[in-house]
Structure 1
Amino acid sequence: MTSGTSAGVRDGIRRWRELTGVTARGFGIVVAALGLLAAGFRYGYPDLAVLGAAAGVALVCAVAFASWRPGLGVERVAEPDRVARGEAARMTLTVRNTSRLRAANLVATDRCGNRTVPVPLLRLRPGRDTTVGYPVPTSRRGIVAVGPLRVNRGDPLGLVTLSRTYGGPAEVWVHPRIHLLRAVPAGMARSLDGRIDKVPHGTITFDALREYVIGDELRRVHWRSSAKVGELMVREQLDTSEPTIVVLLDDRAAAHPEHKDGTADSFEVACEAAASIVAAAAREDIPVSLHLVTDVASGPYLDVLAQATLRPGDLAATLRRVRAQRLGDTLVFLTGPGGRGDLGAVSALRGPYPVVMAGLFGDRDGAPVSSGEGLIVIEAADGAEFAVAWDGVRGW
């Protein structure tokens, strides 16, 4: 038998054992039973046949014993289910014996991220429940999967072990750490003497038409459109003096070359910077939008940052889209060491965006930034250093 054939046989046996739950000892019993029965009937030795039959009966009894499925109700609560990296989170697991006759006497395990947590269910009587609490690891940004509860039940002889799951899984979202940013962009603010800062043609612009409702000013009625439609139409105007921050997170794998398992230290710092900007804008009630280079962000921004990973992306296409859409007046580009050479292309957005800033992380000793005039560049080693540099910017 060749080595490839023997490896295939071993792999087939392993899959069969995983499917049936037969242990190594149980597999030996199966082989012994078949061999004894064959030898007993072939050569006329009834004692061997009896031993083989006894081994088969033992295996059948082991399967019947391990196949008993305890009735368990599982309820889990994460307190809280969304935390910043490094904050405490706890999972509370309540297991109830829903059987009517038998008490549960098991040791279950609950999956929590990459580790398993033992959950003892000793002498759990019918109708009773037990509660177990344990901490959830939050040292890394991401989504920590918790559950389902797994119960392994075997027979006293150790021939068969069957595994079953109870309850559904839960998730704990670990957001990036948020650093306090005291400064926010001034945006396109109107000065007291009527002059407009950073907006050459005024701050009130036409946005859309809508139907007239009681209370609207008649001077806002668009009479030409009203005559065409047959009912009063009112101009909706947009105040562009309100500052709007656009955060563009560079999640390209090429921008963070020193990465492993979809993450890198520079990318973690970039996520912290993005979360800090979003939190500061929300605190000051300033509109903010978050965008990824490789994908369109959807959902709560902190959740988007929690599940962001490194992947291939096209920065040039994203910059063309951001330029065409003109999403705000302040653009913040957050990247890693591999994005240093792209800062020139980002600075070209100074036309549609009056203020363009770049955060460069993970490469303090790199070559000097060679970019267009007017680009504000912050180089920082971590989120706290970025927050200090951000508050020190005077070019808003």
Structure 2
Amino acid sequence: MIRIKARAPTRRGSVRKPDRRPLCRALTLGLPTVWGALAVTYKLACPLAQHDGTGARIATSAVFFAVGTGLIVHVRRTLLRELRQARRVAGAAQSVLLRPPPPRLDGLSVAAAQLSADRGAVIGGDLYEAVATEHGVRVVMGDVRGHGLSAIGTVAAVLGSFREAVHDEPELARVVRRLERALARHLRERARAEHPAGGLDPDQPVAEEFVTVLLLEIARDGEIRALNCGHPWPYLLSGTGVVPLTRADPLPPLGPFPLPPDLPATHCGHLRPGETLVLYTDGAEDARDARGRFFSLPTVLAEAVRDHSVRPQTLLRRVFTAVLRHTGGTPTDDIALLVLRNDRRPDPWTTRANADGQATAV
């Protein structure tokens, strides 16, 4: 069989740029060889290297020092180049896996960001997404057990299922069922890949892996419905301060135990115009300083409300700056934040109806 490699067509008269990759590979392998050959040649062929005098020893030491320094500099440059390439690849993977949400989504201002616990990494074990659907704006915030590269596959499985289910399923309970099945399928595939001989060792991380997931649905009138599988409840920022969205008991996380057959959504009131929701992963409140004191996320959010700094992007910067200052720049767990502010104009008919109802009740 003959394979023909297709090449992209070029415009007539254009000059194709030469491929420099073979030259780079030759330089990468050739420079250390040249340095080593120079050192060996000097030792064997140079008459000065055969003398035992002090001057000869100093000259020999200088030659080998120069050779060693050249090799170290070359290796360092090669490693830095590979590190920059790896970061570019990781950044591209993050842009596909954790897509930045649009700044506005059906009247809501949205901002999200993640801080990875792995130094130099841009991908962790946290996941988030906000999607406008015919059922309302649906949001997911989750946290995979562990962090770094080992959690990327699980994040991809859960997010991929969510992005399909939110448009297809009218009820949040059915969305959660889809996420549960996607996670179970992913863990089975990992088990077969890591233990091809058969059987999953219960002591392996796959057997203990779980994902906390929070699903929110914000209707056009601001009504919030939620399903929480082991995740922290978000904070509601309003003119009166900072309070948890609700104090209802969450369901168990996805993974270790099957969910109960009945999954009623929790009604969490309304997100009124001007109010803000802050979703976060537990890495934010579990962050500690050098003395072991936990980071106080509600305090930072309350200060932002007092300073009227509730724009989503501004809020993200303030929280991440405070976390890095609290931990000395080295958080021990991934941290993800997603901020939603209701910028919709209040409905005058609804406002008047609420006012009339309150007047009647009085």
TM-score bracket for the superposition, by shorter chain length: under 0.3
Whose strand fraction is larger, Structure 1's or Structure 2's? Answer: 1
- TM-score scaled by structure 1? 0.21
- TM-score scaled by structure 2? 0.23
Q: Which one has a bigger Cα radius of gyration? A: 1
More RCO (CA 8 Å, sep 6+): 2
